[in-house]
Structure 1
Amino acid sequence: MSPFRYGHAAAADWPLAAAACLAQIGQVPEQANLGFLYASDEFADELGDLLDWLRDATGVQQWVGSVGIGICATGVEYYERPAIAVMLGEFPADAFRVFPNLSQDFGAFDVSDRDWIQTHPPYLGLVHGDPANEDIESLIRQLAQRTTSGFLVGGLTSSRGSAVGIANTLNEGGLSGVLFSERVALMTRLSQGCSPIGPHRTITEAQRNILVKLDGQPALDVFKEDIGETLAQDLGSLGGYIFAGLPIKGSDTGDYLVRNLLGIDPEHGLLAIGDKVESGREIMFCRRDAETAREDLDRMLRAIQQRLSHPPRGGIYISCLGRGVNLFGPDSAELKQIQAALGDFPLVGFYANGEISQDRLYGYTGVLILFTE
């Protein structure tokens, strides 16, 4: 099976970047029927014009993707500069279904897509969401339940302006993307960007997102014990370095969700985190660590190597805005690490405001999706 055609380029104007992408793609295969487009948020207001141009230039009518503060491609990241990454996928015509914006409920979706879902049960979905939608996590869970694997991959749009996603049309305010049936051979893995620094604790008292007591002790006292005396002496400097980790119940890989620390109340011994919690749930504390992130990405890539019998036809990589140059260092180090392990295969993607894997919303992770046949 031949690799998917793709191209990526940076330019101040989207027509220049798009033309450069098309030159790299060359002759469009007759079988190309689904386009993936990731564009810098500088092009958000012109995304409709770009999408129309690509349809005319390639003949591919169905598209999915997103804008992002950063986008990426094979071995390169474009961060905070105008750029475009395009990939043309080739799939059986009835093996995928692009679906438009889901912002509140699934009534219209269940009606419009019922026939396809019944005859081609969706195995996995690639989705993009608007972080401003307060129900986005619920929408992710509900859509995952409509797949046979219970699995979605994707990310929340990152933008300094309009948070625009692509699902044949432009979408804002909800969740959109494409569903794949089991006829599409693919593989996906997730890599963490934070490492635990203390034991699992049990939340014994909480109010919404505020930790009151852990293991029966004031939450702040336990927090100081776990992060160590040196860090505990300067609590005001921990933002962006220390996080809360919520272990996923039943995970056989020790998986966990990373959530930001939002506030500390020294007078009452309280901690506020970026998620609702309840008594009885486990929690631990984590630090954002470049060496550990590189090691975990290596672990993920080795696991993929063991399962691949030939290079992927193409792939999507969705990484957190807190990774990339902010964690792995300059010169596209994160993308080059993937390229060094898996080869020079077609890859496009973006840096997200939250990453989606299975039925959960993650932070500080990298999600890789490979089309293997």
Structure 2
Amino acid sequence: CRPIGTPLVVTKAEDNMLVELGGRPAFVQLRAIYETLDDHDKQLVKNSLHVGRVASEYQDHFEAGDFLVRNVVGADPETGVVAVGDLIRTGQTVQFHVRDAHTAHEDLQTLLTRQTQKRPAGAIIFTCNGRGRRLFSTPSHDAACLQQLLGPLPVAGFFAQGEIGPIGRTNCLHGFTASIALFEAAE
């Protein structure tokens, strides 16, 4: 997912409801961000809006990988509340995100390119069922990207509805992600 707008402090929350962000109703903040977006991103907000909450507040600057991203499950313009698929606490830092194929592809390429081990002997890939043809125009996008950057190598895996992976130093359950385990050859 790609962040939109700026990080905001949750000034009022109730369970999974964002009530206020930065002292203003959450929906008002979202609408203000929406008005700054181009037409493409406005469409993504309508179909692929998420909220990322910072995994570790102990830093001065937040980047895309610092957020645990969750679905926006609803919004009420009258009350100003935005409902999120996670518990939210007052005082947390959040940022709205959108999900798009281009960013997902770039993120996967960046992570695979950073892979500094020797060439892997094989891999297991766990890809969200919200990826594949639902996100990309071709089937098996993530496996093909893995083969292109690190292959050829044997790959097994499956689609899931939740993938485990790190955010900072904490392992979390993610959605709309790909988790990959790379194996070294036996010596």
Matches within 5 A, 1:50-199: 194-199=1-6
CA distance in 2, matches of 1:213, 1:196: 19
Give 2:92's aligned residue: 281
Q: How far, CA to CA, are the matches of 1:371 and 1:284 in structure 2?
A: 35
Name the SS for the 1:278 alignment partner.
coil
* 2:44–2:99 Cα contact (<8 Å) kept: no
Q: Which has the larger radius of gyration?
A: 1
Of 310, 326, 330 in structure 1, the residue corresponding to residue 138 of structure 2 is 330
What is the aligned partner in structure 2 of residue 308 from structure 1? 117
Q: Does 1:360 align with 2:169?
A: no
CA distance in 2, matches of 1:372, 1:303: 16
How many Å separate the matches in 1 of 2:165 and 2:72? Answer: 22
Match of 2:18 in 1: 211
Q: Deviations over 1:326-357 (max 9, x none)?
A: 12222423321111000111111111111111
- Alignment partners' CA distance in 2, 1:267 and 1:331: 41
Aligned length: 175
Name the % identity: 37
5 Å-filtered alignment, 1:283-302, equals: 283-302=94-113
> Under a length normalisation based on structure 1, what TM-score does the superposition of the two structures give?
0.44
The secondary structure found in structure 1 opposite 2:165 is strand
1:332 and 1:210 map into 2 onto residues whose CA distance is 35
Q: Is the 8 A contact 1:244 1:260 kept in 2?
A: yes
Q: Render the CA deviation track for 1:58-92: whole Å, top value 9, x for unaligned.
A: xxxxxxxxxxxxxxxxxxxxxxxxxxxxxxxxxxx
Question: Is contact 2:126-2:160 (8 Å) kept?
Answer: yes
- Find the residue that maps to 1:226 and give its secondary structure: helix
Alpha-carbon distance in 2 for matches of 1:243, 1:333: 22
Q: Distance in 2 between matches of 1:237 and 1:195?
A: 10
Counterparts of 1:219 and 1:351 in 2: how far apart (Å)?
33
Deviation per CA, 1:111-139, whole angstroms, max 9, x where unpaired? xxxxxxxxxxxxxxxxxxxxxxxxxxxxx
What root-mean-square deviation, in Å, do the aligned CA atoms of Structure 1 and Structure 2 show? 2.4
Confirm or deny: 8 A CA contact 2:142 2:178 kept in the other structure: no
Write the deviation string for residues 248-288 of structure 1: whole angstroms up to 9, x where unpaired. 11588742111111111111111111001110001000111
* One-letter amino acid of the structure 2 residue matched with residue 366 of structure 1: A
Which blocks of at least 5 consecutive residues in structure 1 are unaligned? 1-193
Partner of 1:369: 181
Instruction: State the 4+ residue runs in structure 1 displaced beyond 3 angstroms.
Output: 229-232, 235-240, 250-254
Q: In 1, Cα distance between the equivalents of 2:66 and 2:135?
A: 20
Query: SS where residue 152 of structure 2 aligns?
Result: coil
Provide the secondary structure at the position in 2 that maps to 1:277.
Answer: coil
1:19-68 residue CA offsets vs partner (Å, 9 max, x unmatched):
xxxxxxxxxxxxxxxxxxxxxxxxxxxxxxxxxxxxxxxxxxxxxxxxxx
Paired with 2:19 and 2:11, the residues of 1 have a C-alpha distance of 8
CA distance in 2, matches of 1:302, 1:199: 28
